[in-house]
Amino acid sequence: MKTKEHYSDFLVIGSGIAGLSFAIKAAKFGTVNILTKKKDFESNTNYAQGGIASVFSPEDSFDNHIKDTLQAGAGLCQRRIVEILVKEGPDRIKELIDWGMKFTLSKNENKQKSLDLGKEGAHSHHRILHSSDSTGKKIETTLLDKVKKISSINLYENHTAIDLLTEHQLKKKTRKINCFGAYALNNITSSVQTFKAKIILLATGGVGQVYLHTSNPTIATGDGIAMAYRAGAFIKDMEFIQFHPTTLYNSKTNQAPFLISETVRGEGGILLNQKGERFMEKVHPLKDLAPRDIVARAIDYELKKTGENYVWLDISFKEKSFLKKRFPQIYQHCLAEGLDLTKEPLPVVPAAHYLCGGIDSDLNGQTSIKNLYVAGESACTGAHGANRLASNSLLEAVVFANRAFLNSSAKIKKECNLPEIPYWSKKGTFDLKEWILIQHNIEEIKRLMWNYVGIVRSDLRLGKAYKRILFLAEEIHNYYQKSTLSPKIIELRNLATVAKLIIKSAITRKDSIGLHYNFDHPETSLKKANVILKSGQKPKLVRYKE
């Protein structure tokens, strides 16, 4: 039986802010197919509460935003990339507004309306544009509404990408790898389909589900990164996992953590230990608004020191009317959990939140594979360095998706003869016992990463984790070869791959910097080094020259 083939000029894998904004623009130059493995709105963008950082205040400047980003990145940011991010940001946000995005407004002293700009950790000025506390959801809705009105865009929901189409499928050996599309599983019919295109954009989000506790949705299984790695792309800085300091603590282990936005601390919220004492004052000059890596480690230290399960986040001293208006989503969710943030502090714990590394890309979103672009959390542009500045993620996604569009649209005009791709032929048999083992493997990876490759690391833990993940990865590969395809087995395969990459990168870095804290290695002079991995190669340190 032949595999069903789909053809388009552009193929976008992922439906967050990066993928959708790219698709809207690309549709002016050709046909666009979008693959998303769940419903259209399910993405990391949809879960972004805080906002999008950019310079709109007359008191602020590009230099200030650049400086804040570089300082948060602990010296590992690529300055040229940061300058692009900051200086092109306002135009991209104006574009979102033109497309229908409505950010929260406030009145100034002259009673004129202007953008309400919030402030978050490590920002020197108010520059966070937001829509109450559900900015990501509003952006996602705005972009989807626009996408659905464009006839040249086809949105394929419930389609899980399996692997990229490259010379590997053609059994060719070549120095320069080309990408021609992707194999994808139709989750409803269980059939594998071929999606061929001249230009491919990976915008599949992060890797949060590789950890036991994460603020990410269930789709964040590192699919794009794993596929790109298997295809031979360079992967960079995977050791830099940002743990959000404040997710709502819940004793129910089967319930996903709920994010308490950093803007709560930006509006004056303070962190307290179980004795009701402020502890960030002794840790950093910015106190509760210190960079996320520092706050997360401080909380982790408090929890390990006392044996408690959470610390407190208190903003109850603010006016009730202000809190309900500024944080409606958080207020309602907490009420449903029996907590009233206007009257009492909230119990909070850190959780895996954002990947600063990913698929190595240039300033136009181009990967090391020809015709394969990447944007959003899947990409490692060099903008975040060793630690992302709060609310720079949505900005990076929209800025570099635009640059990927500009670069790739110039290529789309050229003639491109796509090769004949072999039909999908892998067969397997489903076995219930095997399925139980697959689920156990997912849980084991999550616990392994949380216990051994978390906020604070050591050589001993990393060594044990690496030995275990190598065994698991081989076992999972065997499951994958034997099983009939399903979204879960595809995700498990990808989780094992990204877990291995994170551990390998963490072992390779021989210093503590930013989000990677290994108490066996204090901070050293290797602050300009980035860990780059390629499939089939040993990890190495590549030093960037000034």
Tokens of 516: 């990677």
292: annotated active-site residue? yes
Contact 369, 228 (CB under 8 A): yes
Cα distance between residue 303 and residue 324, in whole Å: 30
Rounded Cα distance between 57 and 426, Å, is 56
- CA distances 301 to 171, 243, 457, 505, Å, are 51, 14, 13, 24
Nearest to 277 by CA among 285, 266, 287, 264: 287
Dist CA 99 CA 95 (whole Å): 6
* Backbone φ/ψ region at 100: left (φ over 0), alpha (ψ -120 to 50), beta: left
Closest CA to 208 of 6, 5, 450: 450
> Tokens 């051994």 sit at which residue?
452
Q: Give the neighbor-by-neighbor strand order of the sheet with 52-53.
A: 52-53, 128-129, 117-118
Kindly tell me the sign of the dihedral angle through the C-alpha atoms of 231, 509, 291, 87: negative
β-bridge pairing 241-248 and 234-236: unpaired
Residues in the chain: 546
Q: CA-CA distance, 317 to 499, in Å (whole number)?
A: 42
Give the span between the Cα atoms of 52 and 136, in whole angstroms. Answer: 9
Active-site pick, 92, 127, 265, 292: 292
Active-site positions read 292
